[in-house]
Amino acid sequence: MLKIQPVGSNTAAEITDVDVKLLDDDGFAPIYDAWLKYGVTVVRDQELEIEDFLHYSRRYGHVAPHPSKSTRHPDFPEITVLGVGKFNADGTLNNAIFKRGAAGFHTDGAYDEVPFKATQLYALAAPSIGGNTHFSNMYQAHDALPDRLKSLLKNRRGAFSYGGRKASQALLNEEDRDKTPAFHDILRVHSETKRTSLYFDPGKILYIEGMEKEQSDDVLDELTERMIAPDAEYCHQWRAGDIVIWDNRCMVHKAAGDYPPEQDRIHWRVSIKESADGNRVAA
């Protein structure tokens, strides 16, 4: 019988006693509801082939290929493979791969006009120490903002690009670099829960629309300070066979980037966009 247990500070739920390959729509419904409620769900002990992972991922929405073409699975463009190709030909560490996602808390896909609804990872190999993924709840970050900032940011949009102010685009092919920014509400109403979160990513945001540069830079600094609310974090320690999915609309995450490089830490990853109605889709 499926078990759903909150873990962390109400920022994640762990799901056990289920085989996601066998789920029908009714069996999936409580998993999806827990995911909407907590923002991150962890399903332990799964044995999946790539087709199973894709099939299960499509229950959450439209699975879209990630713009980083060089790290796509050669036969399945919707799958990004994380943690493979860590070493350069001369034996040095390729930090674009090893430290992927470890530059700081972020939300995936904010550079797209239709940003990622969710990112889902399936662990093929986990290190014996380190290599955790950290999550933090952006509803709580919103709720903890001072009223001054809430009114300043009301109806304001941020301009987001892949490399943000640092313009770091190492994993993109030449033809995919320097796209025009995408604009999104910074105080964002979630299309399904209707709750408001802070939609912010210091590594992708360029400026706040309609503000003088100096004021915009000051607000971005202040939001960077405030985005991690007290008691809003979950830290996931990986085991092979884990599926973890997060809601990019209301959570930020980062890789710790700290495991022994000679050990394997390998995931399949999918990027999931909202389907027309924003809700779950039948697989």
Q: Which residues bind ligand AKG (CB under 6 A)?
A: 82, 100-101, 108, 119, 133, 253, 255, 269
Of the ranges 5-13, 50-58, 61-69, 98-106, which one interacts with Fe ion (CB under 5 A)? 98-106
Nearer to ligand AKG, 208 or 253 (CB): 253
Find which of ligand AKG, Fe ion, none residue 133 binds, CB within 5 to 8 Å per kind: ligand AKG
**Quick one: how many helices (H) and strands (E) in the chain?**
6, 16
CA distance 40 to 69: 26
CB of 147 to Fe ion, least distance (A): 31
Contact by Cβ (8 Å): 184, 199:
yes
* Residues contacting 50, CB < 8 A, separation 6+: 73, 76, 79, 268
Residue 11 contact partner, candidates ligand AKG, Fe ion, none, CB within 5 to 8 A by sort of partner: none
**114 secondary structure, DSSP code:** S
Where does this chain touch Fe ion (CB under 5 A) — which range of 17-25, 42-50, 102-110, 187-195? 102-110
Residues 107, 111, 113, 119, CA torsion sign:
negative
Q: Which does 255 bind (CB under 5 to 8 A by kind): Fe ion, ligand AKG, none?
A: ligand AKG
DSSP 158: E
100 binds, among ligand AKG, Fe ion, none (CB under 5 to 8 A by kind): ligand AKG
Contact with Fe ion (CB under 5 A): which of 6, 65, 101, 257?
A: 101
Instruction: Select the residue whose beta carbon is closest to ligand AKG and give its number.
Output: 101
| Two structure tokens written together for 165 | 């102010």
**What span, in angstroms and rounded, lies between the C-alpha atoms of 13 and 210?**
39
Q: Report the chain's C-alpha Rg in angstroms.
A: 18
Residue (86 or 269) nearer to ligand AKG, CB = 269
For Fe ion, the binding residue among 14, 108, 247, 274 (CB under 5 A) is 108
Q: Specify the residue, 108 or 233, whose C-beta has the smaller distance to Fe ion.
A: 108
Token reading at 64:
């879209």
Q: Which residues bind Fe ion (CB under 5 A)?
A: 101, 108
